[in-house]
Amino acid sequence: MTGTPSQTVGPYYTIGLCRRRDHELAADGVALTGRLLDGQGEPMWDGVVELFDVETRTWGRAGTDADGRFAFVVPRGARRLEAFVFARGLLRHQLTRIYLDGGAGAEDETLVAQRKDTAEGGGFEFDIHMQGDRATLFFEH
């Protein structure tokens, strides 16, 4: 894919960052997958999501693919992750949270990852909506 006119502002995160994937926060963890979506619900193929586990102090980065998908392996038992979103049109990254364990402590329902059951043993799904009716809650930083 190539860049679009909307990418004329802000850093070009797909150059270098999206190709590097340090997506394992834990060697024996659980899958956390999701999509990065714009205000119309369209996938953002050129974004970067970084996660930080506040309990284990581990960090990971994943670029989004053509469908806006990202994937991580997070520590089993993790409850809250800090998520940093880098995307086209943003002069500054956005900060949100992802709550895994039933959403205990979540400030908003848009911050709660959904548990999914798969043949591989399950995991979590979390979509990040940058704008629109289903917009994810972002924090000032």
- SS3 state at 8: helix
Classify the C-alpha dihedral 57-63-69-71 as positive or negative: negative
Classify the C-alpha dihedral 98-104-107-109 as positive or negative: positive
Which residue, 119, 36, 110, is CA-closest to 72? 36
pLDDT at 119 (0 to 100): 66
Which residue, 131, 58, 64, is CA-closest to 94? 131
Cβ proximity of 31 and 112 under 8 Å: no
Q: Which CATH architecture describes the domain 5-105?
A: Sandwich (2.60)
Cβ proximity of 31 and 120 under 8 Å: yes
Tokens of 92: 């500054």
Q: At residue 17, what are phi and psi to the nearest 5 degrees?
A: -65, -45
Per-residue pLDDT of the chain (141 residues; tens, 9 = 90+): 455 544 444 455 555 554 445 677 888 899 999 999 999 999 998 899 999 999 999 999 998 999 999 999 999 999 999 999 988 877 788 999 999 977 788 889 999 999 988 666 689 999 999 999 889 989 987
Instruction: Report the side by side order of strands in the sheet with 58-63.
Output: 58-63, 48-53, 80-86, 94-99
Entry field: residues in the chain: 141
Q: How far apart are CA 30 and CA 17, in angstroms?
A: 23
